[in-house]
Structures are given as structure tokens and as C-alpha cells.
Structure 1
Amino acid sequence: MEGSPGDLQTKYHKLAGEYSKLRAQLVVLKKAVVDEQTLNSELKESLREAEQSLRKADQELDSLNFRNEQLTRRVTVLQDELDALQNQSKNKKSKLKSQDGQHPTDFTNHVIDEEFRKKIQENARLLSLMNEKEDQHRQELTNVTSQLDQVSFELSQLKKNSSDMEQKSKSVVAKLEREVSCMREGQQQLADVTRELAQLRQSHADYKNKMETKVATLSAVISSHLPFIDSKNETLNTLNVPRVMETKGSLSSSLGEDLRAALQQMAASLALWHKVSEARLLTLPTATSTANSKFAVHLKESGELALEMERFLSPSKMCKTTAQRLPGLFASYCSHVETMLVHQRLSVEEEEEIDLTDESLRESNRVYLGNCSQLVSHFVQVNSRLTLYRSMQHSSESQQKHQRGLISLCSQLQDSFKDLFNAFVVKSGIETERSWSTEQLNSANQSVTNSLSSLMESSAKITKCLRELWKMADTMAPSHPLVSDLRRRGVHYINAIHTDEAPTISYSQALRDHEEAQNSTKVRETLLKQLDDNKEQLVRAEQDRELWKQELQLLQLRYQKEKEEIIKNDEFTSLVNSTVTNMIGSLEVPVNLPHEVEAREEAVKQYFRQRINNLIAENGDLQSKSAALLAETAALVRRLEASVAAGM
């Protein structure tokens, strides 16, 4: 039973709520991604405007540099003229003429100095203005670049988070869908099991009533037709069976229960031994080696087999079917532990490589491996003895021989566990004194010691129970040949009763199943044909999508080429027509693209973007339809197979 329908409904509502939350989170993340993409496009536009202003500032800078050179040349010419005038004044021979000409020369020098000072001031002002423009442009460019980097980083983080959340939501949705389907199947199985349980209870009640009626009838027959029952003899019961035999039967049942409990304890102790041995491997310095990894895998498999034997030996599971499966499980366990010996030897050799000079540890490992080999050998001998005992009919002498051999093997198995316990105690004591010993290793060694002690105890109980059963069988008087024949006939009768009859169905039910199978076959053929048509449509849609994608790439390439040509032509035109020349120099005006070109470009982009979105939506619709059709076809195929199986 997996659970009640109320629990399944509650789990289903919880899963539906989580699914709706994930869908809401996905919508919010998609909106955030769209907003970030819009912000990124706006920042790119602002960056483009900043680049245009940068080009404009560069052009102004070039113009100012040109004007500065003109002023420098003008100052140089004026300085040359001033030097020439000074030389002419020195060549004057007469003092009068020089005095007479002093006033015009001083006036001319004063004018030239004034003009030169104005030019210098204007040049300084232009240089300071140019430096301010450069600093302002550099700062704006730095701010815009930092903003762009930050927005790009945030956009990449949002895209990454969105993709992660989308993948997570997809995995969660798939997991929820699987759990919902499992819950539905569990509900269906629960309903089927409930119906079967009701039918079994009804059949059990009918069978119980029938058996009670038969018992009452037989009791009446015995009481009326068998008057020779000696009720005065206290040593006999109502069936003339001696009470001593009844006591021996209860004693044998008690010993059998003790033997089952001892076997269950041994299986549990074996599983614990393998588990703690695997944990001990992880605490060794050579835990990551290949030999230890393989040895751990074999320990895990052997522990699982021991746990399965322990589960089959439990009182609730012990029945005829599980008893028949126990020998096969024990044989598998013996083969696993035989294979495990090789990997155990390799693992112990790697332990010895930690300290090659430690002879005491090497000797203890040799003794421990020898005891393990002896234990596995005894397990194999017990399995062989049981297989031989079950494979053929034996006489009483042969049965006694096999029983004595089995008890002897169990006693040897007990001695092997004792020797293994003593060898491991010595080995763990030596390991405790080593430098590479840890607290985890000591704790694991203690756990292994406890499990071996439990194995010694359980093996002693098994040997004791077998000996008591053998003694009780020897003390019982030999039965009459007629009693043996009656026992054999009774066993044959009980086996015949327990044999399952072949299931049969009515003729009308077979006809209905046959008609349903034929109808299901026709429906399946029709659905398969529809599925093929939908697959062809899906293939055509994929081909159209690829074709449109190729056309879009081709148009993008053509658009890129046209754009590059337009940019080249505009640059050439701007170089020719955008230069303004006057008396103070030339100035280049930045070129602005016409708004019609940008609008036409945006319209083309919008058209192809809308077309791609439409194709993606059509592709998604086709995929959802094909998935629904596949699910419906799979359900009909399962119904058809069930109908065919019922018809057969």
C-alpha cells in the first residue's frame, strides 16, 4: 500500500501549488530580462550619441588646433616685421633723424605689442577651452563606459539567473509531472489492491465457513461411528494420540523457531559485518585506491544479499515460497564472498605498503586473511551439503550422515568465527599503535569486533539447535511402514492441493476480448497514420523554419553590406560637403543620417522579428499537438496490449 487517497490528493495539491509558484516566478524573471534588454538598448543608444558628440568635439579640437597654428604664424610674421623695423632704426646716421623718427617707431611698436598681447590672450583662452572640452569629454566617456559595463554585467547575471531558473523550473515541472503520474498509478493500484483484498476476504470467509462445516461433519461422524476412543486413558487425547508425541511436536516446533531466529540473527550480523567493514575502508589512508573501491562494491553487494536473507527469515515473511528462495540466496552469497576474497587480499596488501618495515602488522594480516579464507571455505561446504541434501531422496542412514556432516560444518563455522575474531583483535591492536591510526579507524575496528562477536554467538546458537533437533530425532521410536506410507501420501495430497490451476475464462468473455482487440487494432492503425501525418507536418514546419532562418541570415548579410556602403558614401560626402572654410580656418560638421533610412531599417527589423516570433509560436503549437497525440497513442497501445493479453 503506498498511501490513502487523501494523502495522494494532498500531495497532488501541494505539487500543483509549487508548480503555479514556479510559473509565476518564471513570468517575473522573463519580464525582468525584457526590461534589462530594453535598458541595454537605451544605453547603447546613449553610447552612440556620446560617440557622435565625441566625434564633434574631435572636429572642434582640430579646428582650434588649426586656428592656433594660424595665430602662431601671424605672431611670427609680426615679430619678424618688428625685428626689421628695429634694424632700420639702428641704421639711421643722424641723431636728429633718429629722434625725429623715434615717435612713429615707438607708436608702431606699441601697436604691435598690443596686438601680440591680444593674440596671446586669445590663444591662452582657446587652449584652456580645449583642455576643458577634452576633460569633459573624457569624463563623460568614462561615465558612459562604466554604466555600460555595469548594465552589461547585470544583464548577463539576469540572463544567467533566468536560464538557471528556467532549467530548474523545467526539471521541477518534469519531476512534478512524474510524481503526479506515479501518484495516479498508485491510486489505480490502490483501488485494484482494495478490490482484490475485498474479494480475498470474501473468499476467505466462504472457505472458512465451508471448512467449519466439514469439521463439524467429520466431528459428528467420528463421535457417532468411532465409539472405541478411550476417554478414560489420560495419556491419550481425543484422537488416540499419546500426549508424549504431542509434547515432542511442540518441542520440535519450539526448536525450529529458535533455529529460525538464530539464522535470522546470523544474516543480520553478516550484513552488519559487511557494512562496518565498508565503513572501515573509508578511514584507511588508502581509501581512494582502485582495489579498495572494488572491495567496497563487493562488500556492499554481499551486505545486500545478507539483508535480503534476514528479511526472508523474519516471522512475517517465513513461508513456503520464501523458504524455497533461501537456498538460492545463500548460494549467491557464497559466490560473492568467494569473489570478494581476491579484492580483500589486494586491499590488505595496499595497507601493508603504508609501512613496509612493519613485520608484526604483516604477520597479523596474513593470519587474518587465512582465517577469512577458512571461513569462506566453510560457507561453501555448507552450501554444497545443503544442495546435495535437497537434490535427491535419501534413506534414513544417508539422512543421518548428512545431518551429522551439517552439524560438524556448523561447529567448524563457529570455530572459524572465533579464530577470525581473535585475529582481528590482534590486527586492530597493532593498528592502534601506528602513527597513521585515527580515531575513526579505531571506532570502525571496534564496530567490526562487535559484529564478529555477534556472529560467534549466532553460530553457537545454530549449532546448539541442530544438535538438540538431532537428539530428539534419535530418541523418537521408528515409525511403522504404514505410517510412512500414509505420510508420503499425505504430502503428495497437500502438494496437489497447493498446485495452482490454470486460469480459465468464459467463451462470451473471450469473444468480447477478441472484438475489443480487433477494434483496438483498427484504432491503433488509424492513430499511427495520424501520428505519421503529424510527424510529416512537423518536419515540414521545421524545414520552413530553417528556410526562413537562412533567408533572415542572407537578408542580414545584405543589410550589413548595404549599411557599410551607405556609411562609406556618407563619410565621403561628409568629407567633401561638410567642411566650412572662412577667414579663421575650416570646421567639419558631423554628418547625421536621414530619419527615413532609420525608420525603414526599424520597419524591416520589426517585420522579420514578428515573422520569427510567429514561426516559433507555430513550431511550439505543433510540438505540443504532437506530444499530446503521442501520449494518446501510447495510452491506446497500452489498452490494446492489455486487451490482447486478456484475450490470450
Structure 2
Amino acid sequence: MASGDIQNKYQRLAQEYAKMKSQHSVLKKAVIDEQSKVAELTESVKLKDLSIRKFEQEIDSLTFRNQQLAKRVTVLQDELDSAAVKKKNKTKGPVEPAPVVADTSVFGEDLQKKIQENERLHMQVHQETEEHRQVVASLQVRLEQLEKEAGQHQSVLDSIHLNHKALVDKLQQEKAMLEVKLQKQETDVRDSKRIADHCQQQLKRVHVDLSSRLDDSTKVIQEKVIFNDTKYQELNVLNVPTHDRKHQVKAKDLIGQALGYIGDLVSGMSNYLTYAEQRSQIFPMDSSTGEPLSPVNRRLCQYLHENASHLRPIEQSFRSFHEGLREDALTTLETATGIQDFSEKFHSFVAYMEKLLPYQLRSLEEECAVSTCSATLEARNMELHASLPKLTATLSKLDNYLSLIAAASKSSREHPRTNQAAFFTQMAAGLNQLHEVLKEISKHYNTKVSLEHQLPTATQKLKTTDECVVSSLVALVSCTGKLAPFFSSHLEFFVSRAGYRTRGVSLCRDTDGPVSSPVVTDLRDRATSYVSRLKRPCPESVPYKTAVLNRRTLLSSTESREGLAQQLTTAQEKMRGLEQEKEHWMLEAQLLQVRLEKETKRVSQLEVELRQLQAGQVVTPAPPVEATQTASPGDRKSVGSDVETSLLGKLESSIADESSESETREQLIKAHFTGRVTELTTQLQLADSKAVNFHSECRALQQRLGLAEKAKEKFQEELQTAQQKIAQLQDELTTTTSNYESQLSMMSEHLCSMNDKLTQQRDEIDALKLSNKGSKKGKGR
């Protein structure tokens, strides 16, 4: 069986497996969504049942109250009629109190760096070619082994195919069961809607009844509640600001919308990088056909395969931030600590994109170097080459402003609060710039792909992969096109101050309401800073008991001092030996360096002699460097005319070399020891200065110790006085509690007596009413 057929079967199996995996994930997500919907519906039904029961109880209580009131009204009407006949001149109306009024040279150095980089790249290319040859030989051996093993894998593939068929059948059965459950849930939803409509009607009826009761209660409050500080606006601004729930609800809604946009952006970016990895494995070299990838494309595919580990934490961190929001707590930049985690995950993704950029650019350059690349296609590739760094620069800009915005929730922020508006405006500008850059990349990539598909070497696999990359870029453009206007349209809300308002704003005459006093905002800031300080972790320290024990052992035990002194002496001896070895090896290195230079000169001279021998010329051995410098012109002529082949010349040259070597060695040793002496003198001066400094510090510490002991005595005295005050306060607390308990008992007895008096008065009134009725009946007769 040919290797191409096996590869095609592998590809088909991989495609079928990918399809089934995507279907499985979609079905799993649908099941989870339906379960969540069912749970929400059951909870809503339970809440509706509870509200209905509550409304029914209220209705029953209201009907009972109405019956009592009707009876009471009839009785009072009768009394009023009887009292009107007898006492016409004694009725007076109660005086109602008035309502309360509410109130964010150089060219040369660059050229040298480029030359060094080119030398390094040439060395890498040479090494990579050697490695490539070795890899080709090993791959040929491996190919023969794989062709032998291909027959064995066919049976395994058949079994896998059967397993996949069984899995498909199982998934179809689960799909049918889910459809049945879906129909059942739809019927439940209809029933719940009908019940909700019925509850809505009942709610309207109850609302009418409660509105009348509300009017009565507001009247009672206006008549009975005397203390209200919203009458004067200059006093109202000193009230503690209350929590604006509308601001919190809007903030949570906007963060939820942003979560959807960020999820779309993350999925689009993940698709783009995944399809880019598939394309790098296909073009310009198809790895599936056995052709090896270039080192740049191999490393690029390796990095592109890691995109999910950098993209998924972004969405997860923002989702956890959204889930942590509550309606009973106000969310501001100072309290939104979840943005810090989101900023860190986004910063890691930007670093990943910066690491990916040079390999993408090198891959495009390799595509331009292919023989089938035309001039127009190369121009399109270079346009894409120029637009990719813009994407990385825009993402880093967004990362900088996002980190500044997230730093507002840290206690160690370095920017004032007035700069937050500028950070948000620059963030909006960065999102618009990201949309434009992605649009430009999509345009360049589309034109590049259209030219590549016209090439005779373009395969169907490459075309489908390019279409997937283009569709992912289009999805990114549309997502950023929604995200940027969303952020810009709500920029005013993001820049606005926290959602606080003053109590009694709705009762004031002015439409805007009074502004809180600056004292209130100052107190709020001080409270937030105090709470943030309380939340700081305690610094790591040694426990008090262990510190005392260590101090005792250091002060009392002389054995530990002797042991430390012995360890110090041994360590110093080791350091001296190591320094001597260091000096020895430094001298050896310098001598080897001198020998290396001489040997290089000799090699160059031998190369010149070898070239002359190969050219057929008479060899004129070059004399040593010192001899050529000191010889006269006549001597040089004689040296050049005669051929030196005797052993005496060689021995004389070797003796001269050894003498020059000994001289240079003496000079190096002298220079080394003079430098060592100067270094030791500087170290001695530093040690003397440190000793003086430590002596002065010890004196200062001794003085501080004396002051600390005095402060300790003072604090002990204050502690005793504080304990005495605490005892006095406890005694006062017991006396005040006993007084309050006695007062409460007296008040309760007074209320009981007042209730008794009220009952007696009611009895007397009832008796008078009965007597009045009897007298009326007697007169009528």
C-alpha cells in the first residue's frame, strides 16, 4: 500500500473525528444550556408560586380588614348621627401639619550590529544544512520502517472506524432524546407564561389596593415623623451618600455585553492562529507529503499551537470578574479588583504575540524566496509583512492603558484619579485603531490568497485552509467593529464618577438635586483607603518566642561563637585558596592568549609559503616579527635571496621565540601583581570605612535601645492606666444597662396602664353610645 493512500485515510479520519468532536461539543453545550434554562424556569415558577401565595394572604387579610372597617364605619356613622343631633356646636377639625419640603555615528552602530547578525545567521544556516542532511538520512530510514508498519495500522484503522460509527449512533440517540426534552420544556414554558399572565392580572388588582394603603401610610408618616433633615439644602449635603442601584445595574449590564464581545474576539483570534498553523504546515512545504519544514516554519507552528493556553485565560478571567459583581455593592475602578487578573492575562497574550511576530515575518520572507513567487505576489506579501507589526503595536498600546486602568484598584497606584478619563479615551482610540489594523490585514491577506490560488502548485487543501483564515479575519474585523463603537458610545459612563447620590434628592426643589459636600467624599476616600490597608497581608516575621530563644542562645552560649569563628576561618582559607587558583588560571589564560596570537601569525606565514610552493615560486621563509623589525635593508636582501633549510636557523628562531615569550610572561606577571596590589589596597580602604560605619551604627543602636527601654516603661504605665479606664467603663456599662432595663420595665408598666385606661374609656364610650341610643328611642316614642 502506498504512503499517499495511508496519508489520505489518516486525513479523512482526522476530518471525521474533528466533525464528530465539534458536534459533540455543540450538543454538550446545548444540553448544558437547556439544563440551565430548566433550572431557571423552575426557580422562576417557585418564585411566582411564592408571590401568588403572598398576594393571596394579603388579599385575605385585606378583605378581613375591609369587613372590620365596614362594620366600624357603620357603627361610627350611627354615633356621628346621634352626636350631630345633640352636640352641633362642639365639633372641631384637627389641624394638619404642613408637609415637609424635600428636598494613559547611530547608523554605523546599526550597520555593525546587522553585520554581526548576518555572520551569526550564516553560521546558523551552515549548521542547519548539516543537521538537515543528517535528518534526511534518518528520515529515509524511518520511512522504510513506517512503510513496513503501515500494513499493521490498517486493522487498527478499521476498528477505530467501527468505534466512530457506534459513537455516531449513540450521539444520534442522545439528540433524539434531547429533542423530546426540548418539546417538553417548551410546553412547560407555555404553561409558565400562562400562569405568569394570571399572576400579572392579580398583581394589578393588588397594586390598586396597595396604592390606596400607601397613600394612607404616607399621610401617617407626614403627620407623625417629625425629624427630617432634608428641609435645608445646606445641611442635606452633609448626609452620607446612598448607593445608586441604577448605576450598578447599568455597569453590570455593560460588563456583560463586553464579556460577549471579548468572547467573540478570543474565539476569532484562536481560529485565526489555528488556521495559520495549518497553513504553515502546508505552504510553502507540505509536511504531509514527506517534505521537511523549514526551521522557521517548524518553530512558528510550535508557537501557534500554544495559542489556546494564552487566549482562554483572558475570557475566563473577565467572566469571573463579571460573575463576582453584585447588585448590593457598588462597582468602581477602586473596587473592581478583578480587572487586575484580566490585565495580567491580556499582558501575557501580548507578550506571546510579540514572540510570534518575528517568525511570522520570516515565514513571509521565505514565501517570497520561493521560485514560484511572482513580483506582484511578493509585493502583496510585503504589504502584509508591513501590517503585521502594526497589530502587535496596537495590542501593546491597549495592554499599557488596560494596566493603567487596572492599577486604579491597587493601593500603590502611581497616577492621579483625574487621568482616568484620558486612559479610557485612549483605550477607545486603541480599539478603533485595532479595528482598522485588522481590516488592513484582512484586505492584504485576501489579495495575497487570490494571487496564490492562481499558481499551478496551489492544492485544494491550501485553498480551503486559506478560505478558513480569511473567514476568521473577517470575523475578527466584525467583532472589533462592534467592540470599538460599544466602548466609544459608553465612554461617558465609564469616565463619570461613582454612582452615589445624596439622601433627599427627590424631595428638593431643584431638578438636578444637591451636590454632596467635599467632606463626605473625603471621608469616603479615607474609609476605602482604611479598608484596603486592613486587607493587606501581614509581613512575614519570626514569632516572638523563637526570636527570644535565638537571642538568648546568641548571648549566652560561647560554643556557638567558637563554632562560628572556626567556620569563618575555614571559609576565609577556602576563599584565599580559590583566589590563588583564580590568579594562576588568569595568568595561564593570558599566556595561552599570547601563544595563540603567535601561532596564528605562524599559520598565516605557512599559508603564504604553501601558496608560493603551489605557484612554483621559490619559498622565502619569513623571519620572526622581532628580527624583521630590527634587521637592516642589506640583511633583508640576503635573507630573501637564500633559502633557509638548515637546523641552526630553526633552533635560533625557536630560541628567539622562547626569549620573547619569557619577556612577555614577566611583563604580564608584573602587570597582574601591580593590579592585584591596587585592588587589595582599595579593599582595605573599603574595609576600614565599613568598620568605622559599623562602629557608628552600633553606637546609634545602643542609644536607640536606651530610648526603646524608656518608651517601654512609658507604654507599660499607659497600659495600666488604660486597663483602669477599661474597668471603669465596664462598671459604667453595667450601671447604664441596669438603668436602661429598669427604665424599660417602667415604660412597659406605663404602657400596660395606658392600655388599661384606653380599654376603660372605650367601655365608657360604648356605654354612653348605648345610653344615647336608648334615650333617642324613648324620645321617638
Q: Say which one has the larger Rg.
A: 1
Q: Normalized against structure 2, the TM-score is what?
A: 0.32
Q: Normalized against structure 1, the TM-score is what?
A: 0.38
